[in-house]
Structure 1
Amino acid sequence: MATETSEMKTLVCGQPGQLTYSNREMPVPAEGMAIIKIKRIGICGTDLHAFEGTQPYFNYPRILGHELAGELIDAGGAPGFEPGEMVTFIPYFSCGKCIACRNGKPNCCTDIRVFGVHIDGGMAEYVQVPSSALLHGQGLSADELALVEPLAIGAHGVRRAAVAPGEFVLVVGAGPIGLGIMEFARIAGASVIAMDINAQRLEFCKTRLGMPHIINAATQEVNEILKQITNNDFPTVVIDATGSQKAINNGFQYLAHGGRYVLVGLQKNEIMVSHPEFHKREATLMSSRNATSEDFEQVIAAIKDGKVDPANYITHRVDFDEVASAFPSWLDPKNGVIKAMVQL
């Protein structure tokens, strides 16, 4: 790989609340490992939770970042990939051997290593990843490619729920993941109900994404409004994208009899539910973790077809050198952050 120096700049989260720039050795070419020059880094809720110290499955120090797009420098032998093309990749590295992998669910591999969570991630000038994880850019912009992964999380949650046309789907949490869930539930033909406690985000859902129903859980009587919207049936699908214990526990009461409750959001503590209330509904509870190649392919196709416009989500943009100073402000809801994008 032709470079002018053997070192590159990285940004390390040494402990909760601490981000520090440092230099590390450049990755070196190796068979089966691709090298990417990073052009865009999307800031994810996982990154924010890690900075806060509230992210499960996490150890410090760690280089954050897994919503990435860049220029392929070395393909590591991956067939069909050429140096110089724009790429992204699937940032969940699985063992290929465990029961989940054998059953086509590498997204929940027993020994999964998520880039930027279990291992160092993409807040760096260059990264090295398994060449098997590469995805062609297919003409998408760097911004669009960096947002494929979070949208794939949403697409996977909707697929887990098996959303059918005409269903009422309540999506709790209007952050980037929740917005993606809303979009792919809409694409699946559902009537989407967006719920949050942030009025600014709910306005975004209404005006920018055209969601037909919005509920502010902080100021409105949720159950009564759900009855009105669904003709007393309640939503047949509830999908949580908050990572809030209170919100997750409350979500059970919003579910129709015979409905499905999908947890995309993640928090550290126990789920609390009234067993009789859950049982009488014959409800289904499931988690949705990461995404699969099928979800990534669906997202890329949806962007190319104009069904989803990732540019809608980008509200803040900074250069890599500005991330450490800007990062704390992205946790403050008053700043109206939907998606912060880092450019290199």
Structure 2
Amino acid sequence: MKYIVCKEPGTFLLEETNVPVRKAGEALLKITKVGICGTDLHAFQGNQSFFTYPRILGHELAAEIIEIDENEQGLKTGDHVIIMPYLSCGTCVACRNGKTNCCTDIAVLGVHTDGGMQEIISLPTDILIAAGTLTDKEIAIVEPLAIGAHSLRRAEIKKGESVLVIGCGPIGFGIIKLAQVAGANVIAMDVNNQRLEFAKEAFGVEHLVNAIDNPLETLLACNNNELPTVVIDATGNKKALESGVNYMAHGGKYVLVGHHKGELTFNHPFIHSKETTLMCSRNATMEDMLKVKEVLESGAFPTDAYVTHEVPFEEMIENFDSWLKPETGVVKAMLTL
């Protein structure tokens, strides 16, 4: 079978190996779609945390079962499945408290262990979810959307609440749509006017704020002269992460989804005066994945607009560099096997 490995920063290789041997408690899977995410881009560039090389990337996956034992989920050969890419220990304090997303010994496919950029993979049955009526393209975006679902669950979004989403990328767009589904009044912020226009056209965001051009003034003007009670950062940019609290109302919540490889600095008197609830949101849980499945089944998410680029698996290497360039207009790139 064929697979693509990131040998070192800046180098992908298309190679061949034997089909993996399925272990007890695992299912043998044919990968059908692989979504490309920021983690993959950062790994290729050499600036991804918790990373070692060589590594087979890919954790946004759609798959079809080739071989499986009898299981509690009732999954069988031929079923298409969603893959929860976070392998947790189940016994640490986080897992015991239902926070498997931040397990002390977590292994994420394509990050800590080899992922799905391979034709066939063997994975534990208990991380598989029956896809139901979802298409393979929808299956492959469940995981990135679940990141957003988890952040909104952390923030305990209420219907009618004002929510500012900073960063109109694939994670940000997921947060935007899921917040809309939850009944929030969503405001989008970015430095790129094309991304903001895309938020309006594809996701129906009425209120847009350019972070460079008088953002505070624009934000107040579009929100009844008040700041939003929830601000969610989906940029991972140091300047954006440190400034997001400026746009949050007193008594509000600031949720950091974007990940920065380094230190952040906040002015304590300022965040204290707002009685800021500052929280991080990492990965997702099975509950979040199932919530996203429900939203996708309802038809509420614009999948075709979200997935902007698709190429055959064997053409990924020649296209990958272009996906790093803003002018390419990539929101979500996807491989088809």
Q: How many Å apart are 1:185 and its aligned residue? A: 0.9
- Structure 2 counterpart SS, 1:230: coil
CA displacement, residues 239-265 of structure 1 (integer Å, 9 cap, x when unaligned)? 011111111011111111000000111
Identify the residue that residue 296 of structure 1 maps to in structure 2. Answer: 289
Q: How many Å apart are 1:93 and its aligned residue? A: 0.4
- Measured in 2, the distance between the counterparts of 1:63 and 1:245 equals 28
The code of the aligned residue for 1:116 comes to G
Cα root mean square deviation, aligned? 1.0
Identify the residue that residue 58 of structure 1 maps to in structure 2. Answer: 51
- Structure 2 counterpart SS, 1:315: strand
- Measured in 2, the distance between the counterparts of 1:78 and 1:34 equals 10
Does the Cα contact within 8 Å between 2:88 and 2:100 map onto a contact in 1?
A: yes
- Moved runs in structure 1, 4+ residues, more than 6 A? none
- Structure 2 counterpart SS, 1:208: helix
The code of the aligned residue for 2:270 comes to E
The code of the aligned residue for 1:314 comes to V
CA displacement, residues 191-224 of structure 1 (integer Å, 9 cap, x when unaligned)? 1011111222111100111011111213x21111
The code of the aligned residue for 2:228 comes to P
Tell me the TM-score normalized by structure 2: 0.98
- Structure 2 counterpart SS, 1:267: coil
Identify the residue that residue 94 of structure 1 maps to in structure 2. Answer: 88
Does the Cα contact within 8 Å between 1:208 and 1:312 map onto a contact in 2?
A: yes
- Measured in 2, the distance between the counterparts of 1:78 and 1:134 equals 11
CA displacement, residues 135-193 of structure 1 (integer Å, 9 cap, x when unaligned)? 10102111010011111111111111111111111101111110000011111111101
Identify the residue that residue 271 of structure 2 maps to in structure 1. Answer: 278
- Measured in 1, the distance between the counterparts of 2:244 and 2:69 equals 45
Number of residue equivalences: 336
Identify the residue that residue 160 of structure 1 maps to in structure 2. Answer: 154
Identity, % of aligned positions: 53
CA displacement, residues 62-104 of structure 1 (integer Å, 9 cap, x when unaligned)? 1100000011112244330110111121000000000000001
The code of the aligned residue for 1:171 comes to V
Q: How many Å apart are 1:25 and its aligned residue? A: 2.3
- Structure 2: which 5+ runs fail to align? none
Q: How many Å apart are 1:29 and its aligned residue? A: 2.1
Match of 1:196 among 183, 187, 190: 190
Does the Cα contact within 8 Å between 1:40 and 1:146 map onto a contact in 2?
A: yes
- Measured in 2, the distance between the counterparts of 1:309 and 1:231 equals 29
Tell me the TM-score normalized by structure 1: 0.96
Match of 2:248 among 240, 255, 275: 255
Identify the residue that residue 39 of structure 2 maps to in structure 1. Answer: 46
Identify the residue that residue 4 of structure 1 maps to in structure 2. Answer: none
- Measured in 2, the distance between the counterparts of 1:206 and 1:147 equals 20
- Measured in 2, the distance between the counterparts of 1:120 and 1:193 equals 37
Identify the residue that residue 82 of structure 1 maps to in structure 2. Answer: 76
Identify the residue that residue 18 of structure 1 maps to in structure 2. Answer: 11
- Measured in 1, the distance between the counterparts of 2:166 and 2:75 equals 39
- Structure 2 counterpart SS, 1:129: strand
Identify the residue that residue 22 of structure 2 maps to in structure 1. Answer: 29
- Measured in 2, the distance between the counterparts of 1:251 and 1:75 equals 47
Identify the residue that residue 206 of structure 1 maps to in structure 2. Answer: 200
Does the Cα contact within 8 Å between 2:231 and 2:247 map onto a contact in 1?
A: yes
Does the Cα contact within 8 Å between 1:32 and 1:77 map onto a contact in 2?
A: no
The code of the aligned residue for 2:185 comes to S
The code of the aligned residue for 2:123 comes to V
Match of 2:237 among 214, 234, 244: 244
The code of the aligned residue for 2:13 comes to T
The code of the aligned residue for 1:235 comes to P
- Measured in 2, the distance between the counterparts of 1:73 and 1:283 equals 50
The code of the aligned residue for 1:280 comes to S
- Measured in 2, the distance between the counterparts of 1:250 and 1:76 equals 51
- Measured in 2, the distance between the counterparts of 1:337 and 1:309 equals 15
- Structure 1: which 5+ runs fail to align? 1-7
Does the Cα contact within 8 Å between 2:203 and 2:302 map onto a contact in 1?
A: no
Identify the residue that residue 171 of structure 1 maps to in structure 2. Answer: 165
Identify the residue that residue 306 of structure 2 maps to in structure 1. Answer: 313
Q: How many Å apart are 1:23 and its aligned residue? A: 1.5
The code of the aligned residue for 1:120 comes to D
